[in-house]
Amino acid sequence: MKLIFDEQALYAYLQGIQSAEKTISISCFKFHLPKKEKVLGTRVLLDHLLIAKRRGINIRILIHFRQPRDQVTTANRDVIRELKAAKVNVRSLRNNRMCHAKFMIIDNTIGILGSHNLSMSSLRRNFEASVVFTEDSIIAPLQNKFDDLFRTAQEL
């Protein structure tokens, strides 16, 4: 298990996406693209997810999305649009339930779990902390919970 802070999460996410052989499961509250990205950030992260999809990786994403729209839903809209155009399976929790958990599971073997949103402020400015782990005793129940929620979630 490895503790990561601030922008280290961006590199852990990118490494996980690039190493994926079969599946990527993501739960996130905010996935925001800045208008102009001057440094490595969420645009590159999204591009690598789209490349992984073209490589045949099964990507499933649970993301915060509420009606009527709130500020975070509005921020997520552009990313959702791009993911859907690439035929990535993107869903939100039903009954306006907030998806606030932030994690990624790669091939049921690597997990990243913590406070990082997929936004430039979380990856570059805020104090954030997450853990990267390979323990099946953590990955299996986390993946099972994700699968249960995803199965009943609303397709976007």
pLDDT, tens only, 55-89: 999 999 999 998 767 888 888 999 999 999 999 99
What radius of gyration, in Å, describes the C-alpha atoms of the chain? 14
In our burial notation (b when 16+ CB lie closer than 10 A, e otherwise), range 92-121 reads: bbeeeeebeebbbbbeeebbbbbebbbbbe
Q: Where are the alpha helices (DSSP H) in 20-90?
A: 42-54, 71-85
* Lowest mean per-residue pLDDT among 30-44, 47-61, 68-82, 95-109: 30-44
Nearest alpha carbon to residue 113 among 42, 40, 20, 26: 26
Euclidean distance between CA atoms 34 and 38, whole angstroms:
9
Euclidean distance between CA atoms 29 and 131, whole angstroms:
17
Which strands make up the sheet holding 23-28, listed edge to edge? 2-5, 129-133, 110-114, 103-106, 23-28, 58-63, 89-92, 154-155
DSSP conformational letter for 124: I
152: tokens are 């009943």
For the chain, which residues make up each domain, given as ranges? 2-155
Q: In this structure, which CATH number among 3.30.1310.10, 1.10.10.10, 3.30.870.10, 1.20.58.2240 belongs to the domain 2-155?
A: 3.30.870.10
Residue 7 near residue 124, CB atoms below 8 Å: yes
| Average pLDDT over all residues of the chain | 93
Q: What is the pLDDT of residues 115-139, one digit of tens each?
A: 999 998 898 889 999 999 999 999 9
